[in-house]
Amino acid sequence: MAARNLKNATIALLVPLPSIAFFLFFIRAHSDAAGGNAVFSWCYNHPFLLANVLFFFNVNILFWIIGLIQSNNWMIDLYWTVIPVMLVHYYASHPMTVKDGLRSAVVIVLTWVWSVRLTHNYFRREKWQWGQREDWRFNEMRRQYGKQWWWVSFFAVYFSQQIFLIGICLPMYAIHMSDKPWDRWDFLATVACIIGDSYSLLCRHTTP
Looking at every residue in the chain, the average pLDDT score rounds to: 91
- Find the mean pLDDT for residues 57-71: 96
Of the candidates 158, 163, 154, 155, which has an alpha carbon nearest to the alpha carbon of residue 51? 163
Residue 205 pLDDT exceeds 60: no
List of residues 6+ apart from 58 with CB closer than 8 A:
15, 16, 18, 19
Residue 64 pLDDT exceeds 60: yes
Residue 102 CA: distances (Å) to CA of 99, 115, 169, 176, 195: 9, 20, 18, 11, 20
Confidence of residue 208 (pLDDT cuts 50, 70, 90): very low
pLDDT in tens, 80-129: 999 999 999 999 999 999 888 999 999 999 999 999 999 998 998 888 99
pLDDT in tens, 161-197: 999 999 999 999 999 999 889 999 999 989 998 898 7
Domain boundaries, the chain: 2-206
Residue 34 pLDDT exceeds 60: no
